[in-house]
Amino acid sequence: MCKTKYPMLRHANVLAVCALTSLGALTSTAQELIYKEDFETDGEAANPQRYTTVGRDVYEVDRIRSELNNPDQLGPIYWAPNFQVSYTGVPAPTAARRMVMAWDLAITDAEASPALLDLFDSSIKWLLNNKAKAKIVVAGAGVDALGVLGARLTAAGHELVADDTTVVEEQITTQGDMLFHAGGGSRGAKAGFPMLVINSSDADDVLTSSIGTATALEAGKGKIVATGHPATGGKTGEFDIAAGSFTYQLLGDQLPANPVIVASFTAVGEDPPIVRPLIMLMNSTNDTPAGTVFGGGPFTGQSGSRFFGGAGMNKWTVPEQGDRSLTLQPINVRGKTNLKLTIAAAGTFLDFEVSSGTRGGADYLEVLVDTDGTGPNDFERLIFFTPPASDKKYVDDATTRPEKPTRLGLEFKDVTYDIPAGATDLIVEVRSLSTWWNEIFAFDNIRITSGTIVTPPPTVAIARDGTALKVTYTDVLVSSPNVNGPWTPVPGATSPYTVNTATGSGLYYRSSRP
């Protein structure tokens, strides 16, 4: 199988030999694709119908407000093909500058250090891009409940006004020049003006970090991290934060891409000490580097342009069965062996809650099979995605594959499971439920196969290229000074690989499995 007319060629002290690695026994049964659903057309509307759904619907923002009276859901929320939805994913990058701060709004002027307040002032100047006398809209707290920070903003000449919650999200910027988010769910998440966030429980809802915790601690020294950034106001080194123990609104453990950590801090008496962000900035598209919201962006990597998915699926009437579903029509697999189901799956990773494992329990994406087509009572779970623990907000399939779980993200990933032996009329059903507009599951390219994948053996071919040798290969190119090895990968090699015959050193080459 050596694909060269030079099975052994010596030239200018270079010895190249074409060889194959030992692959072991290969099955002669090639894998057969029995069925594929890629969602490139609407299979429920097709004739013949390819699948049915329960609970299918799409609620865009206007419909969420008019029919559901739910302004917290910035939408869309849906169980439908993506081509019927305005946007599938989490909007990104940030629409304007963002600043997130670990702080307790109850801290007074006497308790906060002057150095910390000076740093707050310079960070706000960056946030407002040096705008003077800004009108700052306060969400989730009264304007008198901001403690020393509110007093600091007023002393700087800014005006604090209460958020008018009757103003819809798309028009929130008409209220002022900046939003101070101290609560209010997703309020301001997509707003096109600067936003300061001091609220752990809403961190994920406003797309600044994974959900944080309000934690009682005494802050030790703060430390400037982004030395030279305008938000530091020229400050460097360490500084005091506040005297005493307070309940700080901490950021979540997972941060967005390209954050600027202006300053960090540790807690007094913590062993081992944990370094936490004190002030974090998220840049908008007109800054360098451009930032993204936490968990933000569209889904990518689908097989074509279309897929199926769901978001906020408990925010409108949930079907009596307890979740939403998509069921393929029976697939004839009689006499087929080594049956496998492969599905491409994706999901956001913001604030999913662990499912109880039963229908209607919190957040999950589930794939079930009925191997003889006799009805729903015979469905058995094949794949189950839910968070692996209550403090983990992403989802994986550790429930059904604990030895090697797949963690979902915004890029579709294939997962393959064995279908129980003896299947005849195979029915595949996908079920799902999630609880917020940015908690989204998606799936695509469902395939049923039988047989075994036959992987072709690695190949190597050698040809002259002027005074050099060109080695074309598959898999990994390895070399050795001895024909019997040991073999080591050729650093940086890509096919075709050129061997300089003027400087060669009598090496043997062959291709090998990774």
Q: What are phi and psi of 57, to 5 degrees?
A: -175, 165
Q: What percent of the chain has pLDDT over 70?
A: 90
**Residue 50 and residue 330: Cα distance in Å, rounded?**
9
The whole-model pTM stands at 0.78
Q: Average pLDDT in the 19-46 region?
A: 72
Q: What is the domain extent for residue 500?
A: 8-26+457-512
pLDDT tens for each residue of 225-252 = 999 999 999 999 999 999 999 999 999 9
**Does residue 269 sit in the same domain as residue 373?**
no
Residue 333 and residue 359 share a domain: yes
Last residue of one domain, picked from the residues 224, 249, 282: 282
Residues 221 and 113 in one domain: yes
Residue 289 has what pLDDT?
66
Same domain, 275 and 368: no
What single string gives the DSSP state of each residue in 7-69?
SEEEETTEEEE----------S---EEEEEE--SS-TTTSSS--EEEES-EEE-HHHIIIII-
Predicted local confidence at residue 503, as pLDDT: 60
Q: pLDDT at residue 9 above 60?
A: no
Residue 169 bridge partners (DSSP): none
Judge if 169 and 44 occupy the same domain.
no
One DSSP character per residue, 314-338 reads: TSSPPPTTSSEEEEEPPEE-TT--S
- How far is it, in rounded angstroms, from Cα 41 to Cα 59? 21
* Other Cβ atoms within 10 Å of 105 Cβ, number: 18
374 Cβ contact partners less than 8 Å away, ≥ 6 residues apart? none
Residue 2 lies in a domain: no
Return the amino acid letter for 236.
T
Of 72 and 126, the structure prediction assigns the larger pLDDT to 126
Query: Left if phi > 0, otherwise alpha if psi is -120 to 50, otherwise beta: which for 472?
Result: beta
Looking at the fold, whether 81 and 116 belong to one and the same domain comes out as no
Quick one: 412 and 477 in the same domain?
no
Residue 253 and residue 142 share a domain:
yes
- Indicate whether 263 belongs to any domain: yes
Q: What is the pLDDT of residue 17?
A: 41
Domain boundary residue among 282, 314, 341? 282
Model pLDDT, residue 356:
82
Does some domain include residue 294? no
Cα–Cα distance, 189 to 179 (Å, whole number): 10
Beta strands in 191-233, from DSSP E residues, in sequence order? 195-197, 214-224
Both 274 and 305 in one domain: the answer is no
* pLDDT tens string 401-438: 999 999 999 999 999 999 999 999 999 999 999 999 99
pLDDT at residue 390 in the model: 86
Q: Is the pLDDT of residue 7 over 60?
A: no
So what's the pLDDT on residue 513? 72
Instruction: Show the beta-strand stretches assigned E in 140-288.
Output: 159-162, 178-181, 195-197, 214-224, 238-239, 245-249, 260-267, 276-282
Cβ-contact 241, 222 below 8 angstroms: yes
pLDDT confidence bin for 25, thresholds 50/70/90: very low
Quick one: average pLDDT of 441-469? Answer: 84
Quick one: 172 and 211 in the same domain? yes
> What CATH code is carried by the domain that includes residue 391?
2.60.120.200
End-to-end CA distance of the chain: 20
Q: What local confidence, expressed as pLDDT, does residue 6 receive? A: 31
Least confident interval from 4-18, 79-93, 108-122, 384-398: 4-18
Tell me, yes or no, whether 149 lies in a domain: yes
291 band by pLDDT with thresholds 50, 70 and 90: confident
Q: Burial code of 82-97, b = ≥16 C-beta within 10 A, e = fewer?
A: beebeebbbbbbbbbb
User: Does residue 477 form part of some domain?
Assistant: yes
CA-to-CA dists, residue 107 to 110, 217, 287, angstroms = 8, 13, 32
- Last residue within a domain, chosen from 425, 450, 475: 450
Q: Does residue 1 lie within any of the structural domains?
A: no
> What number of other Cβ atoms are within 10 A of residue 503's Cβ?
9
The total domain count for the chain is 3
Answer yes or no: is 75 within a domain. Answer: yes
Q: Read off the amino acid at residue 351.
A: D
Is it the case that residue 28 has pLDDT exceeding 80?
A: no
Q: pLDDT confidence of 16, banded at 50, 70, 90?
A: very low
Q: What is the mean pLDDT of the chain?
A: 89
Q: Would 328 be classed as within a structural domain?
A: yes
What integer pLDDT is reported at residue 8 of this predicted model? Answer: 31
Residue 15 pLDDT > 80, yes or no? no
**DSSP annotation of 142:** -
> What three-state secondary structure class fits 435?
coil
Query: Under 8 Å CB-to-CB from 503, ≥6 apart: which residues?
Result: none
Percent with pLDDT over 90 in the chain: 71
Q: What is the pLDDT of residues 151-167, one digit of tens each?
A: 999 999 999 999 999 99
Together in a domain, 264 and 371:
no
Residue range 166-193, pLDDT digits in tens: 999 999 999 999 999 999 999 999 999 9
The model's pLDDT over 125-138, given as tens digits with 9 standing for 90+, comes to: 999 999 999 999 99
Q: Are residues 335 and 386 in the same domain?
A: yes
